Amino acid sequence: MTTLKLPKRFAFCVPYGSDVHPTIESLKGARVLVTGASTGIGEQLAYHYARLGAQLVITARRGNVLEQVVSKCLEIGAQRALFIPADMASPSDAESVVQYAIEKLGGLDYLVLNHIGPSPYRMWDGDVEHTRWLLEVNFLSYVQMTQKALPALEKSNGSIVVVSSLLGKMCGPFALPYAATKFALNGFFGGLQHELAMQKSNVSITICILGLIDTDSAMEKIKGYINMTAYPAHEAAWHIIEAGASRQPETFYPWYTFYACLFRDWFPYLRDQAIQNSYTYNPQVNK
């Protein structure tokens, strides 16, 4: 297959990640903390890192499921794999997970923030408490873990990888509290990228903008609301790892998410019509 290569001077007009040669070998022995690793994309992240020979700490709430993921990670090549159950709705849990990983691994090279709390997929019902709780799980815990991990990451020239969503860049119906937490992540970590660069920090932040991925939880949610292609979780996870390893500031998977963001504000009326028409809304069924 021939690939079209643009001269370096045109790099500014190429989406992040289209011509990057990841330093995947550097992940052998890397000390990695992955959150939300009991299922879905987080579980796939753990398996890829394991195959690459990383040293892993994984976390989520269900210890029994994490235990199985850890066994598989060790089978397929992880140098080390440990788990710590934690509920990210609790600020003290978020902190102690980072502390545990740094202690057990003797430092940290990658903080991969991926977990999300369950949130209903439906018209917003006015539940403010749920929105507050979800902000704690999906956003504030990311901030807290970052604050706790930054000194260790500074020492190791490490990286923070933030798993976000197209719904953190473009508004859509039925997932308002979730989308709010993703917009918050993009705002916070996008700003932190500037501050770290201005301070000449050697810590990189990669923000991953994902479209629909075929995890059980996502497939279950969208059933009956929208019919669109879901991309494989193991591919999404690989893309995230490559982007993190090559220290890209922002990455998009699958391909259409880049163009959706690029053209987002060009024709707002048409965009909003297209978004609304792509969903099924039947007030009797989709309450």
> Is 34 among the residues that bind ligand NDP (CB under 6 A)?
no
In whole angstroms, give the CA distance from residue 235 to residue 45. Answer: 10
DSSP state of 136: I
Fill in the per-residue mask, 64 to 103: x = in contact with ligand NDP (CB under 6 A), - = not in contact.
-x--------------------xxxx--------------
Q: Cα separation of 10 and 231, whole Å?
A: 29
Q: Dmax of the chain from CA atoms? A: 56
Contacts to ligand NDP from residues 214-253, by CB under 6 A? 215, 217-218
Assess whether 178 carries a catalytic annotation. Answer: yes
Decide: is 135 part of the binding site for ligand NDP (CB under 6 A): no
Q: Please name the residues in contact with 274: beta carbons below 8 A apart, sequence gap of 6 or more.
A: none
212 binds ligand NDP (CB under 6 A): yes
Q: Which of residues 98-117 bind ligand NDP (CB under 6 A)?
A: 114-117
CB 183 within 8 A of CB 162: no
Tokens of 244: 């993190």
CA distance 35 to 97: 9
Q: Rg of the chain over CA atoms, in angstroms? A: 19
At its nearest, how many Å lie between ligand NDP and the CB of residue 115? Answer: 4
Query: Which CB sits closer to ligand NDP, 54 or 121?
Result: 121
Task: Report in angstroms how near the CB of residue 172 gets to ligand NDP at its nearest.
Answer: 11
Burial of 23 (0-12, 13-18, 19+ CB in 10 A): exposed
Count of positions on this chain that bind ligand NDP (CB under 6 A): 28
Residues 180-209 as x/- pattern, contact with ligand NDP by CB under 6 A: ------------------------------
Instruction: Report the alpha-carbon distance of residue 247 to residue 249 in Å, rounded.
Output: 6
- Among 47, 49, 178, 231, which one carries the catalytic annotation? 178
- Chain residues binding ligand NDP by CB under 6 A are 36-42, 60-62, 65, 86-89, 114-117, 137, 163, 165, 210, 212-213, 215, 217-218
The residues annotated with a catalytic role in the active site are 178
